[in-house]
Structure 1
């Protein structure tokens, strides 16, 4: 057989790879890993959305509390150079407290100003100059929440890398099993002059197809589950109905292609390394 003869057998299976990789174990395992990867990808996407919402909330209005009977007009005048100020009416405060304390007309209530800072440092200084005033900011708690979300996102991305490494190891094991099953045929073709790249290419293509099919099935199952989960979780976490962009559709669509690429590259490298040891 002349070198490159395998190239003329594109429509055939001279290495018997359909028999060597005929079982469904590899696609099933790849499907399971694709499902886990889809969950990790959705977790990273969701953590990013939560961080954005919390950061937007930190930049929103804050509250300035004043003692009962304080002069709201004077306090508003003192704070207005540093923020947009809107007094919260006492009637509104009593309405909000009614479910908890009932109707108590004589109950003294603190005075509340809703402020949107334009000069944070100046606002804090102006609040500290008002007797008994306190700025109820959310910056520190939001910063901690954003840090937590960033940590969850990093953990999800790390999990994706671990899944990719496990997938590569699984394909390498499957490739070695295929080599053991078709060793004699591979050695004969190698001695007859078949190119190492052609033999490795056949293995790589077969395993890439198996990985693509398994990952597509796992991703489809994950996408369906995630869509129903988003419908229940998004209204609670983000205070709005679930939307199409709440799931990382681009990343989910790329998972089967990534699995096929990992399968193709790992199988090719594994087989080329084995073939180099042949005489």
Structure 2
């Protein structure tokens, strides 16, 4: 029994040498390129999805109340009445009256010195934030109460400002997800071509293995193992290259001090998904190679 095990191991090693080293061919590097693009597209889709979720959370329940009144005294009285209502309303999470001086500073780039003139009426702005569980009927009731106290008031939801941006980001997210699916399909097609090419190139070796008693399943496992290892090599190389590029982009965004960096930063769960793509690519390659070789062997009988 002690001599049978080394003999069995040497036989398996000899069987593995019947197939050429796949790393000498182009398939691992093609898969590396495909995985590089797949990781970038997946990161884009996950980043946009996280940004949409964060934007919805930040903008949910946010409103801007604009009181347009030329008479400063009447405008101030309307603001006080609306503030009193907000202070007593339990559905209001927070509110803040924007200082008139701040508004004039923001208008200065467009109006110049006229922005500081007291003759220029400036609408009063109130940032309002409602609690997350407020019903639509309650929101409509709050609108009516505001209009009652300030007939010239305009209430705008923060989400309405970002609706076009949100639609664009959602379209880009689904486009990136579709690109990931397309890249995986192309990777599978590359594996199919590689498996068929290897099978056709080694028909004589396969016939000898059949005469020696090897089954189709045993032969398919040889192809499956070799192609899976080559796919894993290419997937790891592509993933490392994509991760390095994403890291450089993240550093550049952080150095610029842009709020976009915090918005699209991937959480650790999304990063784990990206790191799991090489394993998934290897499994896809292994299953695809096995099915392709088994069908080829069945047709050759």
When the two structures are superposed, what TM-score results if normalisation uses the length of structure 1? Answer: 0.86
SS of match in other structure, 2:299:
coil
Deviation for aligned residue 1:126: 2.3
Counterparts of 1:144-223 in structure 2, within 5 Å, are: 144-223=164-243
Residue 114 of structure 1 pairs with residue 109 of structure 2? no
Distance of 2:121 and 2:268 partners within structure 1: 45
1:47-85, CA deviations, whole angstroms, 9 ceiling, x for partnerless residues?
112102220232254221112421221232344425343
1:120-153, CA deviations, whole angstroms, 9 ceiling, x for partnerless residues?
2222222333221111322234344334333322
**After alignment, is 52-61 or 170-179 more displaced?**
52-61
Counterparts of 1:30-49 in structure 2, within 5 Å, are: 30-49=31-50
Residue 74 of structure 1 pairs with residue 91 of structure 2? no
In structure 2, the CA distance between the partners of 1:43 and 1:242, relative to structure 1 (3 Å rule), is: closer
**Greater helix share, 1 or 2?**
2
Contact 1:39 1:222 in 2 (8 A): yes
1:10 counterpart residue number = 12
Number of equivalent positions: 274
Deviation for aligned residue 1:180: 1.4
1:67-112, CA deviations, whole angstroms, 9 ceiling, x for partnerless residues?
2421221232344425343322223323333444333243221122
Contact 2:16 2:222 in 1 (8 A): no
Contact 2:62 2:158 in 1 (8 A): no
Deviation for aligned residue 1:247: 8.8
Deviation for aligned residue 1:43: 0.7
Distance of 2:272 and 2:37 partners within structure 1: 16
Contact 1:7 1:198 in 2 (8 A): no
SS of match in other structure, 2:128:
strand
Deviation for aligned residue 1:14: 5.3
2:134 counterpart residue number = none
In structure 2, the CA distance between the partners of 1:174 and 1:230, relative to structure 1 (3 Å rule), is: same
Structure 1 residues without counterparts, runs of 5 or longer: none
Contact 1:87 1:114 in 2 (8 A): yes
Residue 267 of structure 1 pairs with residue 289 of structure 2? yes
Residue 253 of structure 1 pairs with residue 275 of structure 2? yes
Deviation for aligned residue 1:272: 0.8
Distance of 1:185 and 1:209 partners within structure 2: 21
| CA RMSD in angstroms, aligned pairs only | 2.7
In structure 2, the CA distance between the partners of 1:242 and 1:275, relative to structure 1 (3 Å rule), is: closer
When the two structures are superposed, what TM-score results if normalisation uses the length of structure 2? Answer: 0.80
**After alignment, is 217-226 or 64-73 more displaced?**
64-73
Distance of 1:23 and 1:239 partners within structure 2: 40
Contact 1:45 1:153 in 2 (8 A): yes
Contact 2:42 2:177 in 1 (8 A): yes
1:235-276, CA deviations, whole angstroms, 9 ceiling, x for partnerless residues?
535364986737932122212111211111111111111112
Contact 2:51 2:263 in 1 (8 A): no
